[in-house]
Structure 1
Amino acid sequence: MNFLNDEIVYGKNPVVELLKSGKPVNKVLLIKESSGGRNQEIISLLQERNILYQFVDRQTLDRLANRERHQGILAYLAARDYADVEDILAFAESRQEDPFILMLDEIEDPHNLGALLRTVDAVSAHGVIIPKRRSVALTGTVAKTSAGAVEHVKVARVSNLVQTLKDLKKIGCWVSGAEASGKNVFEADLTGPRVIVIGSEGKGISRLLRENCDELVSLPMKGKVSSLNASVAGSIMLYEVLRQRVSAR
């Protein structure tokens, strides 16, 4: 199999072999002019496995493959298989616990995702939900930063965060979104079925997602800077959920 590094496979036959193997894949890039019949087998496999794919120009593939013979196709490997939201909820039920879920809105830095996975494991939350697009996936860098937590945390990758949030609310989850304008998180009641939403590094939580949160919470900032790194803020909030759960027992 043709590997450019530990995250990328290129070439038509190697990518088909990868897709048929069932190994986890984050995304496949196809050259624009190759979207006809000769790639139909690959597109069918991608659709069958619900794998994200995108058409790009030859220059993009040349650059990503370091000008190796990519044959118009390149695949990004995932560090592990993705879960479904139902898997996360079933995990909570199997432990006879209220769901405790972290939802991430367009986090793009793999180090932030890796650090948050490490915290999710540490606080014994049930899983993480990320969007399929405009978000870092389970890359090798994420796995390395997570210090092994990626092997223990269920990560679901969904097409629509807003709809997923609505579905979780229908089954009784309360949603707390992290926003600077929110109330002090240490004064909020974070017990019960809980989803914590953390926004992107630059823009925060998107408008539609924010409007579907039940409440907005924030961390008190007493110093000169006005915000914290997404993984730091998210980790503090996750530990506050854990603290309140332990205190409520």
Structure 2
Amino acid sequence: MSDVQTDSYLGEANQATGASDHAAQSFLVWQILRSISGAKLVQVQAVTNDGGVTPVGFVDVKPLVNQLDGSNQAMPHGTVYHLPYFRLQGGANAVIIDPQVGDIGVAIVEDRDISSVKANKAQANPGSKRIFDLADGLYLGGFLNGTPQQYVQFSTAGIAVVSPTKVTLQAPLVEVDASTSFTVNSPQSGFSGTVIVQGLLSWLAGMTGSTISGVASYISGAVQFVGSITSNGHAIDSTHQHTNSGGSGLGGPPQ
């Protein structure tokens, strides 16, 4: 039997609810099922973390699908506090993308009280007898959100790392292995330490024919040196010009 509400009746009951024992039992079962919290779309109201290198944190969320009273009037949910959120992490390795206020995600509700486990971060008895309660939710982000401005993109064109501010690589050793070429497109590049180039260098100082033939690499454009220059054990006076086989300019050690 249907228990669909009509305009003449308040609540979930209708004329058919008490028509038979089956209808009455069905109504009772559905009322119990409606009291169980499942997965809910929620919006983040507050976050304990802000992108720092910290242990995974918690969010306060608000369910987005309103409750309805017996007269079908909206009854918005209140804020649900201190739900653990998901971070992609294995041991001490993690991708840190903390939720932000306004994000839309899903709260998956545990079937038992998880408050003791949240407090101890270890196996524990349930904190109470409650079951299927939204207070025991776990937050997963990334549903119905807008276009990102900072991202790692995987596509058929390759992998793109995009940031409107800064990209930092920090490690004792950073290595780039490029089997074809390695290109840096920037109006200015800086190196704060020693630079080692394996292979010959050619300076193309804006003058035709200044390339040293047979070299493995070259610098194109004007080159300015500040300080002393040494080549093959000989000091080069950068205030004087020297001639190489290709043209004039600072082309190598003194002749």
TM-score above 0.5, yes or no: no
The two structures have a TM-score, normalised by structure 2, of 0.24
The two structures have a TM-score, normalised by structure 1, of 0.25
Larger Rg: 2
